[in-house]
Amino acid sequence: MFSIINIVTLVLSVIIFLPDNLNAGELPRYASLRDNKVNMRVGPGAKYPIKWELTRKHMPVKIVREFETWRKIELFDGDTVGWVHKNLLSSKKRGIIINGEQKIRKKPKESSTVVLRLEEGVIVKMDDCSKGWCSVEVSGYKGFIRSSEVWGNKTSDE
């Protein structure tokens, strides 16, 4: 028979060791910045100097490495790389428009009606990406964009 202490211990151990999207997992994977000010450091710890101050909440980032509670991230330019604490990241899917102005279409096909045109650098909410298209939302507008024109998903890396 389990005692109350055994049950509480079991429940707590399950809660503590449940993985979330920002804990150990397949690399690389994507996340987004949780706040408007995130310090990117040269190494995995608060003792390391700040390399960049990132100031765009929801900016997508690629997690390329992990060390304890720190995540090494890469920005969409491919050159900006550094370490942030995992609590400064969100598992919410975001993307950033790349390669100039892009069209958001009503359906996932080139011949579909254009819903919106977005400039390079606009951050969008992302849903699923498949067959070369990503479902996105920005400012209440929903539609589809070619996966090669938005960074923040595995298919944009391929």
- Rounded CA-CA distance 29/23 in Å is 11
Name the one residue in this structure whose structure tokens are 């359906």.
107
The pLDDT tens digits for 35-86 are: 999 999 999 999 999 999 999 999 999 999 999 999 999 999 999 999 999 9
What does the pLDDT average to over 3-17?
43
**Fold annotation for 97-157:** SH3 type barrels. (2.30.30)
Strand partners, 60: 32
Enter the tokens of residue 119: 């400039």
Strand partners, 31: 61
Q: How many other CB atoms are there within 10 angstroms of residue 127's CB atom?
A: 13
- Rounded CA-CA distance 104/107 in Å is 9
Domain boundaries, the chain: 4-92, 97-157
Q: What CATH architecture is 4-92?
A: Roll (2.30)
What confidence score (pLDDT) does residue 153 get?
85
Do 4-92 and 97-157 come out as alike in CATH topology? Answer: yes
What confidence score (pLDDT) does residue 125 get?
97
